[in-house]
Amino acid sequence: MSHSVTIQTRTVTTGSPSAINTTFCRSWTGILKLAQVALGIVSVGLSGYVISHYFGGQTVTENLFFILIATTFMIASFLLVLSCLCSYTTESIISKTIFELLFHAFAFALLLAASVTLLTKVTKGRYYNRTESEKLEMGAAICGLINATLYLISTIFALRTSRGL
């Protein structure tokens, strides 16, 4: 004897109704990525200001190298933050891939090299009588060094996550 069965499906939404992953902002990796973007904005802004106002748009090799590296990783970090904020699954998937480990390792190495190069150019072996542009460049280089340290910490977190520790 046959029976007819009616199945009803119901959609249930749990959590916050917003599409923004607010838990990412409260995690250590989220805080590090937000700080990396903020320091990237400050360092790119300072070095861009120096290039446009003190060098008349002409760049010195060290400034160009620094602004290129800082801008590259600032934009890439912003895109990582944006993708993790917009999707709950992106945060968990990206952290398990090798991309995040390689990205943070390269960001650390290149930003450290660019910051040290700019800092070496600015100091010129002396520690007094700096011009206004040298002070701003030093501020950008110091922000770059702090940002490189944050990328190193993110590299360690990514290494531990990819190894499952």
Range with the lowest mean pLDDT among 14-28, 51-65, 92-106, 149-163?
A: 14-28
- Is 114 in contact with 70 (CB distance < 8 Å)? yes
Domains of the chain: 22-163 (1.20.120)
DSSP assigned state of 18: S
Mean pLDDT computed over 88-97: 82
Cα 10 versus chain centre, distance: 40
Q: What is the pLDDT of residues 120-146, one digit of tens each?
A: 988 886 667 778 888 899 999 999 999
